[in-house]
């Protein structure tokens, strides 16, 4: 390894090791610069007093590494998901991040250029697929378990439903703890099929397999972007939108209105200026990057801490709906309990006399449907729902009920 490459790789590994134990907002893409923590400090306890030199890869040694950190040697593998549904692919990304469930992570949304709205993205997507080459030089991870939050983090947990305090906690400490980081390079192909596409699962599978084989197994002369020829002549290449993304993805992929399948190429690590995959792979050792992170939920470390339920609910809502972090406080203001008005009080032994109301009668001898004229007032509290119900001893009086927030949000 050249000296300049050695220095660049050393800095990358050192930064990754220093990031272990810090907080992270998993609504963001997996990059070290997005890590959280008050003053740049870790959110969990790590033994900084007992250190040793740590061999990471190819003779590269990182000095003064905590004994709570270990390094695993990795390998080069090709990973392919096959053709998946939106939720299956979200689960795949979560498993790689050591998390459960199918709530989309920032890395998932970034890879496929999704909007971040789970309902909108899922409803517009027919299938997803990924094929990529993962060059893992090493994986550093925290060995200490169970994890323990720093005392200042415990003290920062809001004791009640205070939207401003809850939003401040999430913005400062994130939603999860970074427990492992994989360093190396990744060259991946992501395929997104829209609901309007008529292509079958087998056609999508064959197409991404063909692209992957040409990209990863050829003689290295293929460029990084542009339409690729299909071996299966039954599929029209014009049905696909091929997009090269180097080094940073655009905010939204280019799509022609007539196209219903998007192919996105993404790389991380290595020399961005090298187009051939084989030539690019040779540069990963001298210019590695963080390609994967493993996480542990902060809320799983809050046992016996007052306010756990409030913070857990706030983080769950934040991950589900993904409001901008700067607007999280206002979003949480509207997540207070909701009640229905008017509230009926039925006291035992007390018969409430039905009021005289106008009525509807749909036939000469038919029953009368009375319509309540009672007005429902909730003041300035935001209304979130409305319903009609039948009341009275004979269930023949039509009344209106309004659902509203229990208190006025502080906005």
What are the mean pLDDT values of the chain's consecutive 10-residue runs (411 residues total)? 68 95 97 90 94 90 95 89 97 97 96 95 97 95 92 95 96 97 96 93 93 80 40 40 39 44 95 91 94 96 92 97 96 89 66 71 84 87 90 87 86 71
Q: Please tell me whether residue 107 adopts helix, strand or coil conformation.
A: helix
Q: What is the pLDDT of residue 201?
A: 93
Q: Report the C-alpha gap between 373 and 353 in whole angstroms.
A: 15
Domain assignment present for 411: no
In which residue are the tokens 């609910």 written? 313
Do 284 and 355 share a domain, yes or no? no
Distances (CA, A) of 256 to 192, 198, 242, 244, 260: 14, 16, 11, 15, 8
For 3-20, the DSSP string reads HHHHHHHHHHHHHHHHHT
Other CB atoms within 10 A of residue 286 CB: 16
Distance in angstroms (rounded) separating the CA atoms of residues 148 and 45: 6
One domain for residues 71 and 108: yes
Determine the distance from the C-alpha atom of residue 393 to the mean position of all C-alpha atoms in its chain, rounded to a whole number: 51
Predicted pLDDT of residue 381: 86
Q: Give the CA count within 13 Å in the CB-facing half-sphere of 21.
A: 26
Q: Where are the alpha helices (DSSP H) in 194-307?
A: 201-217, 277-281
Do 329 and 348 belong together in one domain?
no
Are 188 and 106 in the same domain? yes
Burial of 318 (0-12, 13-18, 19+ CB in 10 A): buried
- From 295, 315, 333, the end of a domain falls on 333
Q: Are residues 276 and 388 in the same domain?
A: no
| One domain for residues 206 and 291 | yes
The last residue of one of the domains, among 280, 298, 333, is 333
Question: What is the C-alpha separation between 115 and 143, in angstroms, rounded?
Answer: 36
Classify residue 105: in a domain, yes or no: yes
Kind and range of the H or E run holding 142: strand 125-142
Q: Are residues 203 and 345 in the same domain?
A: no
Number of domains the chain is built from: 2
Residue 348's pLDDT is 57
Can you tell me the distance from the alpha carbon of 147 to that of 169, in angstroms, rounded to the nearest whole number? Answer: 19
pLDDT at 355: 65
317 in the same domain as 251: yes
- Token code pair at residue 215: 């990209």
Residue with tokens 């509230």: 343
| Structure token pair of residue 402 | 């309004």
322 and 358 both lie in a single domain: no
Distance of alpha carbon 126 from alpha carbon 329, whole angstroms: 34
Closest CA to 133 of 74, 191, 181, 186: 186
User: Does 237 share its domain with 379?
Assistant: no
Residue 78 covered by a domain: yes
Joined tokens for residue 373: 């004229």
187 and 167 in a common domain: yes
- Length of the chain (residues): 411
At 22 the three-state DSSP class reads: coil
Q: Which domain covers residue 362, as residue numbers?
A: 338-405
Residues 276 and 387 in one domain: no
Place of tokens 């005289």: 356
Whether the model pTM is above 0.85: no
410 inside domain: no
Residue 88, SS3? helix
Q: Identify the residue whose tokens are 């309004």.
A: 402
């Amino acid at each position: 390894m050249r000296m300049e490459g050695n220095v660049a790789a050393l800095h990358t590994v050192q930064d990754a090791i220093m990031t272990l134990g810090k907080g992270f907002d998993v609504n963001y893409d997996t990059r070290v610069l997005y890590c959280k923590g008050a003053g740049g400090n870790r959110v969990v306890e790590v033994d900084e007093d007992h250190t040793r030199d740590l061999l990471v890869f190819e003779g590269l040694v990182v000095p003064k590494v905590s004994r709570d950190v270990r390094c695993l040697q990795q390998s080069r593998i090709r990973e392919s998901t096959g053709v998946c549904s939106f939720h299956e692919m979200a689960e795949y990304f979560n498993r790689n991040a050591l998390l459960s469930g199918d709530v989309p992570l920032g890395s998932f949304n970034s890879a496929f250029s999704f909007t971040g709205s789970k309902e909108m993205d899922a409803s517009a997507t027919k299938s997803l697929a990924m094929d990529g080459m993962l060059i893992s030089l090493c994986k550093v991870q925290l060995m200490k378990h169970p994890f323990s939050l720093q005392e200042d983090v415990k003290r920062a947990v809001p004791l009640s439903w205070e939207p401003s305090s809850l939003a401040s906690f999430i913005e400062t400490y994130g939603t999860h703890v970074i427990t492992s980081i994989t360093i190396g390079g990744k060259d991946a192909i992501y395929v997104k099929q829209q609901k309007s596409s008529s292509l079958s699962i087998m056609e999508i599978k064959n197409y991404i397999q063909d692209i992957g084989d040409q990209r990863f197994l050829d003689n290295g002369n293929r460029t990084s972007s542009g339409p690729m020829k299909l071996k299966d002549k039954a599929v029209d290449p014009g049905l696909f939108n091929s997009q090269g993304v180097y080094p940073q993805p655009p905010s939204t992929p280019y799509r022609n209105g007539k196209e219903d399948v998007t192919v996105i190429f993404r790389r991380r690590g290595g020399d961005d200026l090298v187009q051939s995959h084989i030539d690019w792979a040779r540069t990963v050792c001298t210019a590695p990057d963080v390609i994967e992170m493993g996480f542990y939920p902060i809320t799983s470390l809050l046992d016996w801490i007052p306010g756990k339920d409030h913070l857990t609910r706030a983080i769950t809502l934040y991950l589900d709906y993904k409001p901008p972090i700067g607007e999280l406080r206002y979003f949480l203001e509207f997540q207070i309990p909701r009640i229905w008005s008017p509230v009926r009080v039925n006291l035992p032994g007390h018969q409430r006399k039905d009021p005289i109301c106008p009525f509807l009668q749909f036939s000469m001898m038919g029953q009368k449907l009375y319509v309540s004229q009672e007005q429902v007032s909730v003041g300035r509290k935001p209304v979130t729902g409305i319903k009609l119900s039948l009341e009275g001893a004979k269930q023949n009086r039509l009344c209106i009920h309004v659902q509203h927030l229990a208190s006025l949000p502080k906005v």
